[in-house]
Structure 1
């Protein structure tokens, strides 16, 4: 590595480290509920709470994130306590014990249930949170909780059990049913966390088999090289439904997130072919989704260029840009192809200009197409908390460190 490249990468790492410190402190200072436990995520620009309802997704994501920071940087008591606070809150308040341990979607500040959803993403974030906490502390109860949630999700995703909540699919199944990309890709990510911390030999075999199953499902049913995209929703046999808007939806940020989940699985299995296909998924999503006029990644696009149904289709959200930064740096680390470092820098420049708020900390979540915040007074919401941004910052910091350590 020449001096110019080293200085270039060191400058990026310096900014990333500073931003991570700012982000983490923003949530520790403003989000943690020291009365009821758990985390508030509906915070305004300055960090003041504007709604006390709590997202169950965010309890799990926050618990995972602070335990993961301990894994990456060494245990800090404040981080560990933040993780445990969210874990304890979920255990006490966020599980519907009468419905097969399915989890709620939102609860009140005190933990009274507000909303249940059919999707099992609350359970997924609960699983990775407990697994990561076990990895740091050795708490065997957390490992058993993670394993149980992991199995529950698998059974639900594969129709092996009926949903104990009694909530059916969104559409009338006798008319239309299908597959959603979110199920195998999120399960693949959950698997990557569990197999990193759960070293039991029999469980390792299970995780390897389930990871491969997810990879094959994504490639067989959702990845459409003939359309140059990865579709969110397809028929049960993988046939694209191009006659309806739902069947043509591409979420470029989702595809890019999926690409680095696949790359992680490929690296774990030493599977060059899967890695190469994952890079193609990234390339196609970036090319189709990057806004050539205003910059930034569009939220939704139609795979045939037809009108999209979602009102927010041309908005720029924080998390897809986080996924670009992770995936592009991962490809650069794995392949040495400088064009991906350039995509990383292109995206980072956009994020510095439009998302980052060094005055008060954290990032704006939601921008108009032209890059102005739609909610300039908002830093967190039911869907935005201490997860995508600190995950990206810590992962990119780690990958930059790996690259710089080579020479």
Structure 2
């Protein structure tokens, strides 16, 4: 790495550290529910709550985030308190014990159930939150909860049990069934966190992680199409004659790429790392908007129209994933290609997503980079997760590269 690169990385790291502090303070000040416990995430630009319904995903994600910050930077009482508040709220209000301990998707401010979804992501974020907190405290109950949810997800993803909620698939199974990229990639991330805090089960985690990467590489990664597909059929083959079968989510692919880089580094698997790099390259080169900048939300693998009306919006989290993936790829390979994408993305984020006046990042931009009106800092899907995860992980990688 050249002296010029080192100077630039120090400048970027200084900016990231300030953004991380501002982002964390924003959620601690405005998001935490001091009365009922847990976190509100439907916050406007200034941090005012515009809906008191609570996202179950975000209870788990918030608990994980503050636990992870303690793991990286040392325990702080306000971070531990925030994590514990969300974990307690999850346990007391968000687990549907009448449906096999599946978790709800949304609940009221007090924790009354509102909605159940078929997807296993509430369980996934519950699992990583409990696992990360266990890694800090060593209290066995949190690992037990994480393991229970982890096992439930594995069984559901692999068709080993019927969904205890009774919710069926999106489409009529006899007509069309498939496999989603989100299942193996998110489970791979869950495994990485659990393996770090629970070394006693390393052999099982290693075996299941390999199952995940095999599915991603052999089924969803399609270099002949120049993309990684969101869905394939039950035989692991593309179905390109309808729009859902052609969907590419570039941000999702880029997130998947760094999950796979982490796994490749753990295994010492250079071939897997090269595949992860290629997933990144295909996604960012197809998804980057050369006219307005930023990463498009959805694209069609054949360049045909997409059904999602939000396909050309710019969302915060894909840009967060670029930061993590590009910084890790540059660290691992030394290839300036990844450094260029890191810096280009940070420049875009500085210009369009950040809000120096009130802190945190806008979540939803139009294609031209202007926030949707009225602008928001949080929603059912945006809370204290993607931005602080990207800032903290990128800060750590840059510190490795800078060497202090």
Q: TM-score normalised by the shorter chain: which range applies? A: over 0.9
Deviation (angstroms), 1:3: 2.7
The answer for the alignment partner of 1:381 in structure 2 is: 379
Deviation (angstroms), 1:75: 0.2
- Inter-partner Cα distance in structure 2 for 1:5 and 1:284: 25
Deviation (angstroms), 1:252: 0.3
Deviation (angstroms), 1:282: 0.2
The answer for the alignment partner of 1:193 in structure 2 is: 193
Where in structure 2 are the equivalents of 1:204-219 lying within 5 Å?
Answer: 204-219=202-217
- Contact 1:364 / 1:376 at 8 angstroms: preserved in 2? no
- Contact 1:366 / 1:375 at 8 angstroms: preserved in 2? no
The answer for the alignment partner of 2:151 in structure 1 is: 151
The answer for the alignment partner of 1:254 in structure 2 is: 252
Where in structure 2 are the equivalents of 1:182-331 lying within 5 Å?
Answer: 182-200=182-200, 203-331=201-329
- Inter-partner Cα distance in structure 1 for 2:241 and 2:375: 40
Q: Does 1:102 align with 2:95?
A: no
- Contact 1:39 / 1:54 at 8 angstroms: preserved in 2? yes
Q: Deviations over 1:97-130 (max 9, x none)?
A: 0110000000000000000000010000000000
SS in structure 1 opposite 2:114?
A: strand
- Inter-partner Cα distance in structure 2 for 1:339 and 1:163: 44
The answer for the alignment partner of 1:45 in structure 2 is: 45
The answer for the alignment partner of 2:358 in structure 1 is: 360
Q: Deviations over 1:348-391 (max 9, x none)?
A: 10000000001100000000100001134311000000000000
- Inter-partner Cα distance in structure 1 for 2:29 and 2:199: 35
Q: Deviations over 1:283-309 (max 9, x none)?
A: 000000000111000000000000000
- Inter-partner Cα distance in structure 2 for 1:213 and 1:175: 27
- Contact 1:249 / 1:302 at 8 angstroms: preserved in 2? yes
- Inter-partner Cα distance in structure 2 for 1:114 and 1:251: 28
Task: Determine which of 390, 396, 399 is the counterpart of 1:398.
Answer: 396
**Where does structure 2 lack aligned partners over 5 or more consecutive residues?**
none
* TM-score, normalised by the number of residues in structure 1: 0.98
The answer for the alignment partner of 1:86 in structure 2 is: 86
- Inter-partner Cα distance in structure 1 for 2:4 and 2:352: 27
The answer for the alignment partner of 1:3 in structure 2 is: 3
- Inter-partner Cα distance in structure 2 for 1:212 and 1:106: 32
* TM-score, normalised by the number of residues in structure 2: 0.99
- Inter-partner Cα distance in structure 2 for 1:274 and 1:4: 31
Deviation (angstroms), 1:218: 0.4
SS in structure 2 opposite 1:43?
A: coil
SS in structure 1 opposite 2:387?
A: helix
- Inter-partner Cα distance in structure 2 for 1:111 and 1:401: 40
- Inter-partner Cα distance in structure 2 for 1:366 and 1:379: 9
Q: Deviations over 1:243-286 (max 9, x none)?
A: 00000000000000000000010001110000000000000000
Q: Deviations over 1:127-179 (max 9, x none)?
A: 00000000011111000100110000000000000000100101000000010
Deviation (angstroms), 1:338: 1.2
SS in structure 2 opposite 1:142?
A: helix
- Inter-partner Cα distance in structure 1 for 2:367 and 2:109: 34
- Inter-partner Cα distance in structure 2 for 1:4 and 1:311: 43
The answer for the alignment partner of 1:168 in structure 2 is: 168
- Inter-partner Cα distance in structure 2 for 1:135 and 1:272: 29
Count of aligned pairs: 404
SS in structure 2 opposite 1:234?
A: strand
- Inter-partner Cα distance in structure 2 for 1:206 and 1:3: 44
Q: Deviations over 1:64-88 (max 9, x none)?
A: 0000000000000100000000000
Question: RMSD value over aligned CA atoms?
Answer: 0.7
- Inter-partner Cα distance in structure 2 for 1:199 and 1:183: 23
SS in structure 2 opposite 1:351?
A: helix
- Inter-partner Cα distance in structure 1 for 2:61 and 2:330: 27
- Inter-partner Cα distance in structure 2 for 1:312 and 1:395: 28
- Inter-partner Cα distance in structure 1 for 2:374 and 2:71: 33
The answer for the alignment partner of 1:18 in structure 2 is: 18
Q: Does 1:136 align with 2:129?
A: no
CA distance change for structure 1 residues 253 and 218 in 2, over 3 Å: closer, same or farther?
Answer: same
- Inter-partner Cα distance in structure 1 for 2:374 and 2:401: 36
